[in-house]
Structure 1
């Protein structure tokens, strides 16, 4: 994302990259950390665009759901989600209950598929939204998927009804 952020800066966009711990953290803590950072970044902005990769896309969706004033004051531009597990990750399902998932904490555990996944708990808002999914599978994780994937998230799991 650093290269992408630099490209946006070169195109004269003000870029705010979020810094948050995702290992061992709860969903609530991650969303609180990022909400504070987003609010500081967008104050006094006339137009706001969001780009999020993987968990960052879920952070954006949760932020917009919980901060509807951003949606209602005509400042929201485009939202782009890249490789975001909107319906969870099959890889997270495979790791469920493992030491690795326990180490990852609540935020990692929220990436499982099904109704308890973070992505499925966030409402699908009416937005100018685009989703980008990868389909170059990893030889390390290919056995955990039954469809096209990027090694962490299936293409199907990135999809939202609006896209």
Structure 2
């Protein structure tokens, strides 16, 4: 039986990942008394709408509609949050944290699609994540309190995408996949920058503490304030 008192939060991983990438956050939230849903989805082969429809059905089966629901999304997971909230405006009662999400697209996606050695191996939804994406243009921004965390470590020798990041983005400040300025929403509640690479964000203990701080308080801690992108 679902407790009507437990705060509930939905975690959405990024492209090419699995729920394991959100596992550390899931464990921390569970220990704090949150009811956590950490679903998976086929990020490599399915279209955006196929992924969204599958997640929508899973969330509806899990959700307690009597309680507000919070959201945390890493990278593409943040774009899926926007899609879910657009379908369900009645869910606009909780809080949302996006971690390294390409809310305005990323030139990294454009670069990969323009080179034959990348474009045949990238996820199907990569075309929806370019700066001129019709999907991103049409998706409403979240109406709930939204905190955004961006990284500013733009290179990692073990992450191939970041080898091309500087060339793809004209060396724009960013996390090795998404430019800092492209993570932001116009109506975001709070925004911080952390010294992290895109691929390692969800395992960083300090970042997870900031996520939890926002879910509890509607703003990040003073440790990373103020910032300028």
Structure-1-length-normalised TM-score: 0.88
Aligned pair partner of 2:36 in 15, 32, 35: 15
1:90 and 2:115 correspond: no
Alpha carbons of 1:102 and 1:121: their partners in 2 closer, same or farther (altered >3 Å)? farther
Which whole-Å CA distance do the structure 1 matches of 2:120 and 2:64 have between them? 36
How far off its partner does 1:39 sit?
1.5
Which whole-Å CA distance do the structure 1 matches of 2:54 and 2:87 have between them? 14
Which whole-Å CA distance do the structure 2 matches of 1:90 and 1:67 have between them? 30
1:132 and 2:149 correspond: yes
Partner of 1:144: 168
How far off its partner does 1:92 sit?
0.3
How far off its partner does 1:121 sit?
2.2
Cα deviation per residue 1:47-71 (whole Å; 9 max; x = unaligned)? 2110000010000111101112223
Deviates further, 7-16 or 139-148: 139-148
Task: Check the 8 A contact 1:31/1:59 in 2, yes or no.
Answer: yes
How far off its partner does 1:136 sit?
0.7
1:114 and 2:132 correspond: yes
Report 1 or 2 for greater relative contact order, CA contacts < 8 Å, sequence distance ≥ 6: 1
Measured on the aligned residues, the alpha-carbon RMSD in Å equals 1.7
Cα deviation per residue 1:129-153 (whole Å; 9 max; x = unaligned)? 1111111111513332232111110
Which whole-Å CA distance do the structure 1 matches of 2:43 and 2:117 have between them? 16
Partner of 1:77: 94
Which whole-Å CA distance do the structure 1 matches of 2:58 and 2:145 have between them? 22
How far off its partner does 1:106 sit?
3.3
Q: Runs of 5+ in structure 1 lacking a partner?
A: none
Task: Check the 8 A contact 2:166/2:172 in 1, yes or no.
Answer: no
How far off its partner does 1:45 sit?
4.7
Partner of 1:26: 47
Bigger Rg, which one:
2
How far off its partner does 1:105 sit?
4.5
Partner of 2:16: none
Number of positions where the alignment pairs a residue of Structure 1 with one of Structure 2: 158
**How do residues 36-75 of structure 1 correspond to structure 2 at under 5 angstroms?**
36-71=57-92
1:153 and 2:173 correspond: no
Which whole-Å CA distance do the structure 1 matches of 2:110 and 2:58 have between them? 30
